């Protein structure tokens, strides 16, 4: 009986060892892998929460400068709409007592830079003080408009001046 009891104990230990080695140990390894993946996902989730909280803080900071940002957006529109530039030029010339007599579309430079240039050639007719006011108004305009070249000729007696301007404006 002692031999069969000894054999029974040995067989039970062998079965427990085999059961542990072929069933419990792989389950334990699988559990460890899932636990590691869970921890990685928690770290990833925490990083994303930090990222989104930083974005929210940046958004709140930008909300404080909403007025200034809208001025920049109107100065540098996202599309180079020629009609809006011409509307600004026409309105400014009329407000300052000038007649917009000539409009020439020069070119749109679409370079690899972030800013795109629109070049125009315009002609205005009127008095010299009205022209000075026109230039001052263009300089103070919310649109980013640069006057690159001005040319004019001496008018005949009692005729208004004709000013030719090369203008450059931008969009992004």
Per-residue pLDDT, 49: 95
Per-residue pLDDT, 88: 79
Provide the H-helix boundaries in the chain: 2-19, 25-63, 66-75, 82-95, 128-140
Per-residue pLDDT, 21: 79
Per-residue pLDDT, 42: 95
Domain boundaries, the chain: 1-64, 76-171
Closest CA to 172 of 74, 69, 80: 80
Is domain 76-171 in CATH 2.30.110.10, yes or no?
A: no
pLDDT tens, residue order, the chain (172 aa) = 456 888 888 888 888 888 877 887 788 888 899 999 999 999 999 999 999 999 999 988 888 888 777 766 665 555 556 677 777 788 888 888 898 888 887 666 555 566 677 788 889 988 889 999 998 888 887 667 788 889 887 778 888 888 999 888 876 6
């Amino acid at each position: 009986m002692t031999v069969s009891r000894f054999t029974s104990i040995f067989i039970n230990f062998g079965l427990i060892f085999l059961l542990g080695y072929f069933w419990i140990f792989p389950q334990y390894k699988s559990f460890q892998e899932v636990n590691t993946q869970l921890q990685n996902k928690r770290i990833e989730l925490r990083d994303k929460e930090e990222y989104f909280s930083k974005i929210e803080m940046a958004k709140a900071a930008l909300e404080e400068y909403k007025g200034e940002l809208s001025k920049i957006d109107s100065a540098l529109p996202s599309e180079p709409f020629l009609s809006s530039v011409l509307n600004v030029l026409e309105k400014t010339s009329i407000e300052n007592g000038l007649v917009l007599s000539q409009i020439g579309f020069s070119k749109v430079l679409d370079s690899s830079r972030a800013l795109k240039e629109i070049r125009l050639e315009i002609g205005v007719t009127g008095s010299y003080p009205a022209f000075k006011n026109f230039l001052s108004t263009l300089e103070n305009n919310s649109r980013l408009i640069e006057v690159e070249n001005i040319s004019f000729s001496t008018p005949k007696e009692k005729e208004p001046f004709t000013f030719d301007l090369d203008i450059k404006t931008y969009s992004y």
